[in-house]
Each structure stands twice: as structure tokens, then as C-alpha cells.
Amino acid sequence: MPIHIFAQVVFDGVSAIPFGWAITKAVAGFTVLYLLKWYFNGAVNGSERNMHSKVVMVTGGTSGIGAEVVKGLALRGAQIVMLTQQPLTDPFFVDYIMDLRRQCNNELITAEHVDLSSLHSIRKFATKWVDNAPPRRLDMIILCANTRTPPGGKATQTEDGLELTWGLNYMANFHLLSILSPALRAQPPDRDVRIIFGTCSSYMGGSFPDFDSAGGKSKSKDIKSRPKPMAFTPGEVYATSKLVVMTFAIAFQKHLANYARPDKQPMNARVIIVDPGWSRTPGMQRFLTFGSLWGLALYLFMWPMWWLVLKSSDQGAQTFLYAAMEEQYGRGEGGQFLKECRKYKFLRPEIEDEAIQKRLWEVSESTVQSLEKESALRRAIEKKTEEATKAKEEKARLKEIKTEADGKTKGKSAIPSTKKDKKGK
């Protein structure tokens, strides 16, 4: 039967078959749609690695790309430590962890409470992790935590006074890795240690902050040529945070490589930067909807287009999984930039500028120190105020108890006299 139909098409043309042209157009349309979707889905991780016994710390692992990275590694047997701002006693979060363990058939999925928007919270966790003898095993840190203010949105601040996008996307990573650095350097020389940074192609539009206003003069002309914008612009702040975190990633690789191990072995920790591509994550949806109801309606109306041109979270996680498992990145030079499961060159040469890296590190370190001092002073004042309030309340309560006791005593002393009076009568 198919042979006869094909022969009729060849000799008599497509119009000889009922609905021939309609079928042809539909097949052509579906073929084009399939090819476009295949192209926009991006590359698929083709590397596999035995992840059993590997301890992997993940930020942003409860939603979007981070959740898919956690699932992908947990399915391969890795021990996962998720850093989350969710309370560990939250029943919904407990159910999430239990469901993830069942799906992955992996009981080694745990979480630690860390609020990445709080420098104090980061220090409490990281200090506790480092303060351990012998050093705790740590094979990999994957930094997926990310935030972005929707277009037209207003700037919000962390409890330390940092703009939220800047504080979470960059300062949290800087603070966390600065403290965990000894734990990474203390790993045995035969262990493959990787630190994977998440970034975005918007880094190309970022500009370095004005280091002069941060206390000191910059020695780099590149920094001065791109001054910090005066007004808050969500898109530029986000792009700047990604540009700076990539610069810090290269600086952190040099920081690790320059460490002289006591056993004289070469440093085995390597930094990898990953651009997962544009994906339909909760953050992207919030960006596309402008954080508004009318934007959500527009997003739903344009859903077919977003489905076509944006990756799913699972597809966005492929390059992260590739960076975590590809054998070649466990040796050789660190500081590789990956996109679509391939190496790419930085399109902003300033990222590899040592003068910028050094100045960025110095300013970031001094900023963290000053903010932590202010935070400590603020907590001390709050503690004293709380103690004074409790003491005042306790004093008032004791006074109330004493008043009640005095009233009862007076009442009791009045009763016997009444009885005597009755007996006298």
C-alpha cells in the first residue's frame, strides 16, 4: 500500500492524493518545529562518572536548574548537602527531601540551613564545617543560587545593607568560599575536587563597580573605563554580578593554585564556570512576567514561544552535570568556561586581568569585614535590648506576684479576727 501511494505521488504529483498538500505542509511544519526545538534544547551531557561516596555541596538546589543538578547527581549515588534558607523543620521541606530520596533511591541527601543573604548565617555554617578534625570530606561545591530583580522593579536590600542581587549572586559566593577554602585545600591529593560557578551570558553587558568609591584608587584603566551606573537598573546590576563572580572564580582558582601543600603534592582543586543557557526556571519566569499579574497573563499567552526557545530546567542542568562528571576537568588547568558542554573563551578579557582580580578581592574582603563588624554590633545591641526587656518583664511579673501574695496574706489575717468576734458574741 505505501509503495502504491509513493508511486502515485511520483507519477501524478502530490495533488493526486486526497489532502496531499495539507499533509505535506503539516509534515514540513512539524519537521521545522522539531529541528528548532532540538536546536534550542542545547547539548546533552554525554559524560558519566561514578559519584558514589562523593560529597557535593549545592546552593540553590531546591528549584530550577539547581534542583535538576541535585537530582542528576543523587541518581548517580552522590552524597548531597543542600544549603537552603528553608527551616529544616518545615514539614513541606521535609516532605521534599523524603520524596527526593525515594525518587533517587539515595538516603544520602541532606540539607543545612544557610541564609545566603546573611553574611552572619554563611559564617556560622562555613565555620562549623571547617572547624572539624580531621577535615570533612568535600569533593565538589556547585553554586546555583541566583536571583534577579524583574525589569522596573525596585532595589531590595539584605539584612547587611547590600543590594539583594549583588549580595546573593556575588558576595555570598565570595564569603562562603573564602571561609571554606581551607576545607578544599585540605582534601587528599588523590581526590578530584571541583568548584562549579553558575553564570549567564548577560555578563557581557556588565560593568565593574567603581573601586575608587570603595576606598582606594584603582590601578587598572579597564575599571575606570566602565564606571558604575548612578541609578539602579535591574538588568545592569544582574549582568554586573555575573561579570564579577566570573572574575572572582578565576581569582579563586589562582588562590588555590598558589597554596603550597604540606605533602608537596600539586593542588587538586579546580574551578569551572558554567553558562547553562536561557531556561524556563522560576527566576526566568519572574523576569519575563515583570513580577506582575498582567505580565503573567502575557507569559501564558506567549507560552508556545517560550516553550520553543527556552530550555527546561533539566536541559539547563546538562552543562552542570557535564562539568561535574567529565574526566578531563579533573586534571590540568582550572578556570575553564563551559557552555553547551563545550569549552568557550571569555568574551570580556577583563575577567582574566590580574589587577582587577586583586582589587576586587581586596575590596570584597574589606566590605565583608566592615559589614560583619556592623552586624556583630547590631546583634549585641539587640541582645542587650532583649535582655533588658526580659529583665523588665520579669521584674514586673515578680512585682505582680508579690502584690497578689500580699493581698492573699491580708485576706487570711482578716478571717481569724472575724471568727473571734463571732465567738465573743
C-alpha dist (Å) from residue 78 to 53, 81, 186, 410: 6, 10, 20, 73
- Rounded distance between C-alpha atoms, residue 122 and residue 139, angstroms: 19
Which of the following is catalytic: 242, 343, 358, 373?
Answer: 242
Identify residue 379 by its one-letter amino acid code: R
Nearest to 353 by CA among 199, 247, 239, 214: 247
C-alpha dist (Å) from residue 91 to 56, 115, 321, 343: 24, 18, 29, 42
- Rounded distance between C-alpha atoms, residue 425 and residue 416, angstroms: 14
Clarify whether 402 is annotated catalytic.
no
Q: What is the dihedral of CA 31, 37, 38, 41, to 10 degrees?
A: 180
CA angle 102–104–106, rounded 5-degree value: 80
Count of beta carbons in the 10 Å neighbourhood of residue 123: 18
Q: For residue 111, what are the β-bridge partners?
A: 82
State the burial class of residue 40 (Cβ atoms within 10 Å of its Cβ: 0-12, 13-18, 19+). Answer: middle
Q: What is the dihedral of CA 152, 158, 162, 164, to 10 degrees?
A: -40
Report, as residue numbers or ranges, the catalytic residues: 242
